[in-house]
Structure 1
Amino acid sequence: MANHNPTLTQGSSRLPSKQERHRLFGSVDPIPGNKPTEKEKMVDLQNTPKDFLFALDQVGISSVKHPAVVHSTLSPTVQTTVANFALTTSLVQNSKGINMSRLTEQLDLYHQQGWDLSLKHLCQFAEELAGRMKQSAATIEVTFPWFYERPAPVTGMTGLMHAEAMMRVHFDEVEGFTATVGLKAMVTTLCPCSKEISEYSAHNQRGVVTAEIELTDAQTDWDWKKALLEAEETNASACMHPILKRPDEKRVTESAYENPRFVEDMVRLVAADLYEMPEVAAFFVECRNEESIHLHDAIARVRYRK
């Protein structure tokens, strides 16, 4: 086939320089500018005082992925995970905006100092952030996968499970701190109606249980992850497992048959456990069954303040 590129000839591999190639694909030289390049001389629109109609409850950044250290009373007791942050502050009426780069600056500073995702550190972060931004309030919300070791019920073979954890800390210079935490975990649920009407067997499915709690102490060192996981799993028909041999599978399926649960049953049972926890001021529970014999999911929710 004939070579129609005038630059490349038979037996030659010569190309234009990288600068020439960029120009070939549309790059142009920078235009001479007349605006200042020194920070001190630049116009700061965000900090220009004026009446901007409304104060704002929250303004900031979200979907910030960052490595974070998590401690747990379940093995592995220390783990590094990838967390998703949302960092916001309030905004007074006479300011146009906030300096958003300071949000990620503080996140990186804390990371360099070796912080972990404890409520105490998040409260400290929120209070310092509000002060740094010269605002009266700040909120940090973070979600992350939390891993925990799970042994099989008969053979004891272990593997790692994971659940989706959430932490939300709010600081207000007048009202102080509030903290909400949550956990979303997978369980097995077996249909009570199917068990009741069928001559043999019963359909079961994967249930997704979400529990969120408002804490009585925003800076507690209580292992809420373990407590929420136990509330969700011990009320289900059966737990999920990463490794199951045949004796384990027999135990799990028989346990599910012995403990049938509707979604309504699940949220009420989990709610009862949360109600009995003194560390919990208010709670929200949801169970969603990914139905195995229907095209739809089944869902139930409850919200309660003590």
Structure 2
Amino acid sequence: MNAHKSTKQLPSKVERHKIFGSVEPGPKTKPSEKEQMADLQNAKKDFLFEIDAVGIANVKHPIKVQSQLLPTSQTTIGTFTFTSSISEDSKGTNMSRFTEQLNEYHADGFVINIATLKQFTKELTGRLKQNDAIVEVSFPWFFERRGPSSDLAGMNHANAGIKVMYDHDNGYDIEVSLSGTITTLCPCSKEISEYSAHNQRGQVEMKVTLTDAFDEQKVDWKQSLLEAAESNASARIHPVLKRPDEKMVTEQAYENPRFVEDIVRLVAADLYELAYVEKFHVFCKNEESIHLHDAIASISYDKRTEV
């Protein structure tokens, strides 16, 4: 085939830009040096109210995550939120300082753990010249799962998160979270049916406030929360299932029927027994297989309120 020969004569790129609205730069009268520029965000006067939190959200950034499950080290994507309060006499915050510090940590290889995020948050208060700051990060966490009979491995994932709140006067509050997927089989369906029972995919979300004594060098909180969700399900989710595996999983589900109410109570019991957990919230949503709606349940509990 003959190559296509262009016959259309186009104006230059500069001229094309002018056709679509580009204009020549106008005269510049404002300073271009940072020291001479107006800094509205640092203006000081009565601005009516203190602001609880101001900052940036939905910041995507590569991070490194360590785990006691395989793979023990992985690179994933963190979604960050950075905030701090500002006083009534402050106009605003300097948004670039959040990402500036993020990039500095990335240059050293940003390993996401509680100790590093505590340091990050405390340093952020100094950079912002504020008394408090909050850093939140959520990320997909991958872990190996093997078939119960074949022992064939594949990769599952859960959504994990860490929230570090630092206050110059009160110190740190640490909250971790995990959302994992399970299988549930309906007890009512099993009870009333001559044979079989319908099942569904469930999503268990846990938010946990950790005690000051929590030692992440000894305990992988991700693994602990995942186990709390999966061990109380009708069956676990598997990426690779051969027929003997499938037989075992479906029979296990039939032997362990669970309502959504059962799930949150059983998970809550496991979290209650963890000594390093002060407070927790458990939420479960089952995507029903014979209804168009979802079934939901939740429990919140604070062990610090016990007499």
* Moved segments of 4+, more than 4 Å: none
Q: Mind listing any 5+ residue stretches in structure 2 that lack a counterpart?
A: none
Q: Mind listing any 5+ residue stretches in structure 1 that lack a counterpart?
A: 1-9
Cα deviation 1:95-129 (Å, max 9, x = unaligned): 10011101000000001012311000000000000
Once residues 69 and 27 of structure 1 are traced to their aligned partners in structure 2, the CA distance between those partners, rounded to angstroms, is 43
Residue 3 of structure 1 aligns with which residue? none
Shift in Å, 1:14 = 3.3
Residue 112 of structure 2 aligns with which residue? 117
**Partner SS state of residue 189, structure 1:** strand
Residue 84 of structure 2 aligns with which residue? 89
Shift in Å, 1:30 = 1.3
Q: 1:270 aligns with which of 239, 244, 267?
A: 267
Cα deviation 1:78-107 (Å, max 9, x = unaligned): 000011000111111111001110100000
- Does structure 1 residue 211 correspond to structure 2 residue 210? no
Residue 135 of structure 2 aligns with which residue? 140
C-alpha contact (below 8 Å) 1:123/1:219 kept by paired residues: no
Residue 169 of structure 2 aligns with which residue? 174
Shift in Å, 1:62 = 0.1
| CA-based RMSD | 1.2
Once residues 288 and 217 of structure 1 are traced to their aligned partners in structure 2, the CA distance between those partners, rounded to angstroms, is 31
Matches within 5 A, 1:104-253: 104-217=99-212, 220-221=215-216, 222-253=219-250
Shift in Å, 1:12 = 3.2
C-alpha contact (below 8 Å) 1:119/1:220 kept by paired residues: no
The total of aligned residue pairs comes to 297
Once residues 44 and 280 of structure 2 are traced to their aligned partners in structure 1, the CA distance between those partners, rounded to angstroms, is 41
- Does structure 1 residue 282 correspond to structure 2 residue 274? no
TM-score by length of 2: 0.95
Residue 70 of structure 2 aligns with which residue? 75
Once residues 104 and 43 of structure 2 are traced to their aligned partners in structure 1, the CA distance between those partners, rounded to angstroms, is 27
Shift in Å, 1:303 = 0.1
Once residues 11 and 210 of structure 1 are traced to their aligned partners in structure 2, the CA distance between those partners, rounded to angstroms, is 60
Cα deviation 1:173-194 (Å, max 9, x = unaligned): 0110000001101100000000
Percentage of matched positions with identical amino acids:
59
Alpha-carbon spacing, 1:256–1:11, altered in 2? closer, same or farther (3 Å): closer
Once residues 117 and 219 of structure 1 are traced to their aligned partners in structure 2, the CA distance between those partners, rounded to angstroms, is 16
Once residues 181 and 138 of structure 2 are traced to their aligned partners in structure 1, the CA distance between those partners, rounded to angstroms, is 16
Cα deviation 1:146-186 (Å, max 9, x = unaligned): 00000000000000000011110000001100000011011
Deviates more, 1:209-218 or 1:196-205: 209-218
Shift in Å, 1:57 = 1.6
User: What amino acid does structure 2 have at the position aligned with 1:283?
Assistant: F
